[in-house]
């Protein structure tokens, strides 16, 4: 199975870092408001310590996420597996592929990466990690090189056409 681009670690890192920044600031503010004025300086050190721990933890989790994200263009189906603690295995028959989009956000463009979005027929999906009300496609491949995203898209379009005679 093929892995994502090694720069994907940074995409995952900044995603986890954003979540942690909110949690660290919230927890830090709570600690400061609860403690007395005498312990105020100690509270700031606790916030800094929490931030450093979150930075290190975010990078380690991003590395683990990258190591456990794989995909394969098989004979009959597109396969994807992901997950560190809970594994998720997805198989998409080529005949179900409806649309393939390539997205390039600002961080992805800076790193020279793309997100490949494989939309399928009949996928109801869930609200997974894409923001409020935003539905993530069943076959999302984050952080692959621009050239590789184009190659995969062309290959999947070809296979989807072959799987649907008459198109």
C-alpha R_g of the chain:
20
90 and 152 share a domain?
yes
pLDDT at 93: 92
| Burial readout 64-92 (b: 16 or more C-beta within 10 A, e: otherwise) | ebbeebebeeeeebbbbebeeeeeeebeb
Q: State pLDDT tens for residues 82-106.
A: 999 999 999 999 989 989 999 999 9
158 and 109 share a domain?
yes
80 and 154 share a domain?
yes
Where residue 116 sits, what CATH number does that domain have?
A: 2.30.29
Nearest to 80 by CA among 161, 142, 157: 142
158 and 98 share a domain?
yes
134 and 150 share a domain?
yes
Q: State pLDDT tens for residues 28-65.
A: 666 666 655 445 555 667 777 877 888 898 899 999 99
54 and 114 share a domain?
no
8 and 62 share a domain?
yes
Query: Which structural domain range is residue 155 located in?
Result: 73-163
35 and 19 share a domain?
yes
Q: State pLDDT tens for residues 11-33.
A: 999 888 877 677 766 766 666 66
Q: Report the number of distinct structural domains present in the chain.
A: 2
Where among 26, 44, 66 does a domain terminate? 66
**Cβ atoms of 160 and 93 closer than 8 Å:** no
**Cβ atoms of 138 and 123 closer than 8 Å:** yes
Neighbours of 113 (CB within 10 A): 23
**β-strand pairing of 139-145 with 2-3:** unpaired
């Amino acid at each position: 199975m093929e892995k994502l681009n090694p720069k994907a670690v940074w995409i995952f890192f900044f995603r986890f870092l954003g979540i942690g920044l909110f949690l660290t600031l919230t927890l830090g503010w709570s600690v400061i408001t609860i403690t007395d004025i005498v312990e105020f300086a100690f509270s700031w050190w606790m916030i800094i310590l929490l931030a450093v721990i979150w930075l290190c933890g975010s990078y380690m989790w991003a590395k683990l996420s990258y190591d456990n994200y794989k995909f394969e263009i098989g004979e009959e189906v597109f396969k994807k597996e992901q997950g560190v603690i809970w594994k998720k295995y997805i198989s998409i028959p080529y005949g179900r592929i409806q649309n393939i989009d390539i997205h390039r956000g600002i961080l992805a463009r800076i790193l020279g990466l793309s997100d490949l979005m494989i939309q399928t027929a009949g996928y109801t999906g869930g609200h997974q990690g894409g923001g409020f009300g935003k539905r993530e496609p069943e076959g999302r491949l984050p952080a692959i090189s621009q050239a590789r995203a184009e190659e995969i898209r062309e290959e999947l379009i070809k296979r989807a056409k072959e799987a649907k005679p008459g198109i």
